[in-house]
A and B are shown apart, each in its own frame.
Chain A
Amino acid sequence: MQDQPTPSEVIGAVAAFLKNVVTVQTTGATSFQARVAANALEMMRRQLDLAPAEDAAELERLKALLGHDGTLADLNAELSRRIGAGELDLTTPGLSDHLWATTMAKLAVDQPTYAAYRAELASRDGGHS
């Protein structure tokens, strides 16, 4: 068992340093790149925090959709191949829900401020309330 603070916490601190100190004390391309680097670290922090649970849920959905066991990478590749071959499509029960859930989980890591993602989240909240 490794010691604390956790990778997520340390990465967050480095991102804050880049954003709050480096971008301010540099100019032009360097300042811009420091901001990009801070955003990249924040993304990796979200992935460390969110991906384990999301990957596990994705794997369970894939097993149900494809009807057998396997690794996440193998089952995702099989799903990709079978959609490409026309064997599965949006009329397949559970497929649309799976693609939406998987994509929303990716956006939560990659780009949680993306407007289309925000709009989709808002419409879902609206739908449940």
Chain B
Amino acid sequence: MAASANEELECGLTALAARLAPGGTMANLRRLTAGATQEVWRFELVEGERQTPIILRRAPGGTRVSDTAIGLETEAALLEAASAVGVPVPEVRYVLAPEDGLGHGFLMGFVEGETLGGRIVKSDELAGARGFLARQCGEVLARIHTMNPDDFPRLRRSTPAELVEQYRTTYRASPTPRPVFDLAFRWLDAHCPPPPEEMKLVHGDFRNGNLMIGSDGVRAVLDWEIAHVGDPMEDLGWICTNAWRFGMVDKPVGGFGEREDLWAGYEAAGGAPVKRDHALFWEVFGSMRWGVMCASMVAAFRGPDPSVERAVIARRTSENEIDLLRLLAT
């Protein structure tokens, strides 16, 4: 089964290679990740002597699409719109069409660099970049927040209070009562910012692990699949959430930088003045959000994905409980 599905993919991509470049062929197709919501493949586009790496992002099996993700066609459109306002992103080369017979997905250029959070916070080669990365992340976020939400009418629009409610509903559907989460939801209710003066396009998953980093800093912002429209401060809190510090708990921004640098970069690049208490709200929200997502893996494990990996992620829920206690009960 798997072999014939791969043959199908290989045939389809060979046909596409000829359209990407005159006389182009496809070589060395291999799968990079086995994500639950996305497949990532890499191949070489061969034109005579020249080889260009190309990345395919595709819905699993080409067809299934998770109900929270925005859809790969929208993701491709977001990448193009982001590029137009100066956000570093991979270049979209082709969006799959029904007649390609390959399901939903798109082809994009390959960006060299490091995405593994654990290496980004520790590696010697990136020591220099870590000095300016937090500020640069702020600058990039300010540009993302200039994207026009009206160009993406199908993206979910949520006020802060609506997002809290959405996650509370997911939490309550999980099998385990969690007093720490209940405490966090009470805190979030009490500290929830009002609907933002201006609803912005929010990346939604802007964090260490979803950024392609090189010695020159942010080379590409990846994983736009949960972009939505809401309070732009959400993005500034999420990158500070402890889960994405990869062990460097004393470096709040992604395990590599300081909040003040992130905020200064954001404001200097034209972002709205950062309200400190709102930023803290979104940091707490981030730990609650990742905790609820981990807790919901129990149902995924007992349902469509009974893998050891899924079970182990479910057991990371408690990491967020200690993170929440450190934020709220010290």
User: Contact: A81 with B322, CB < 8 Å?
Assistant: no
- Minimum Cβ distance to chain A for residue B82 (Å): 31
CB < 8 Å: which of B180, B247, B308, B312 contacts A103? B180
CB < 8 Å: which of A33, A79, A83, A102 contacts B309? A33
User: Contact: B178 with A43, CB < 8 Å?
Assistant: no
User: Are A114 and B309 CB-contacts (below 8 A) given A83-B183, A99-B183?
Assistant: no
Interface size class of B (residues with CB under 8 A): 20 to 34
Question: Is B248 in the interface zone, CB < 8 Å from A?
Answer: yes
Complex Cα distance, B169 from A93, in Å, reads 29
- Minimum Cβ distance to chain B for residue A72 (Å): 11
Q: Which residue of B lies closest to A41 (CB)?
A: B308
User: Contact: B312 with A116, CB < 8 Å?
Assistant: no
Chain A residues within 8 Å of B34, by CB? 29
Question: Is B311 in the interface zone, CB < 8 Å from A?
Answer: yes
CB < 8 Å: which of B177, B319, B329 contacts A96? B329
User: Are A116 and B249 CB-contacts (below 8 A) given A100-B329, A103-B318?
Assistant: yes
User: Contact: A116 with B326, CB < 8 Å?
Assistant: yes
Chain A residues within 8 Å of B311, by CB? 40
Q: Which of A5-13, A48-56, A105-113 contacts B (4 or more CB under 8 A)?
A: A105-113
User: Contact: A120 with B322, CB < 8 Å?
Assistant: yes
Chain B residues within 8 Å of A77, by CB? 177
Query: What DSSP secondary structure best describes chain B's contact surface?
Result: helix
User: Contact: B322 with A103, CB < 8 Å?
Assistant: yes
User: Contact: B177 with A81, CB < 8 Å?
Assistant: yes
CB < 8 Å: which of B179, B182, B185, B242 contacts A116? B242
Complex Cα distance, B190 from A89, in Å, reads 13
- Minimum Cβ distance to chain B for residue A65 (Å): 10
User: Contact: B321 with A103, CB < 8 Å?
Assistant: yes
Chain A residues within 8 Å of B156, by CB? none
User: Contact: A43 with B309, CB < 8 Å?
Assistant: no
Interface residues of B in 158-182 (CB under 8 A from A): 177-182
Contact with A along B311-323 (1 / 0, CB 8 A): 1100110110111
User: Contact: B322 with A79, CB < 8 Å?
Assistant: no
Complex Cα distance, B328 from A90, in Å, reads 9
User: Contact: B315 with A80, CB < 8 Å?
Assistant: no
Question: Is A39 in the interface zone, CB < 8 Å from B?
Answer: yes
User: Contact: A106 with B177, CB < 8 Å?
Assistant: no
User: Contact: A99 with B309, CB < 8 Å?
Assistant: no
Complex Cα distance, B322 from A80, in Å, reads 16
Question: Is A1 in the interface zone, CB < 8 Å from B?
Answer: no
- Minimum Cβ distance to chain B for residue A76 (Å): 6
Question: Is B325 in the interface zone, CB < 8 Å from A?
Answer: yes
Interface residues of B in 82-98 (CB under 8 A from A): none
Chain A residues within 8 Å of B309, by CB? 33, 36
Complex Cα distance, B244 from A116, in Å, reads 12
Q: Which residue of B lies closest to A83 (CB)?
A: B182
Chain A residues within 8 Å of B315, by CB? 43, 110-111
Question: Is B154 in the interface zone, CB < 8 Å from A?
Answer: no
Complex Cα distance, B312 from A40, in Å, reads 6
Complex Cα distance, B316 from A103, in Å, reads 12
Question: Is A67 in the interface zone, CB < 8 Å from B?
Answer: no
Complex Cα distance, B148 from A3, in Å, reads 68
Interface residues of A in 68-104 (CB under 8 A from B): 76-77, 79-81, 83-84, 86, 89-90, 96, 99-100, 102-104
**A and B contact pairs by CB, cutoff 8 A, 18 listed:** A29-B34, A36-B312, A39-B312, A40-B312, A79-B177, A79-B179, A83-B186, A84-B186, A89-B186, A99-B180, A102-B179, A103-B318, A111-B315, A114-B322, A115-B247, A115-B249, A116-B319, A116-B323
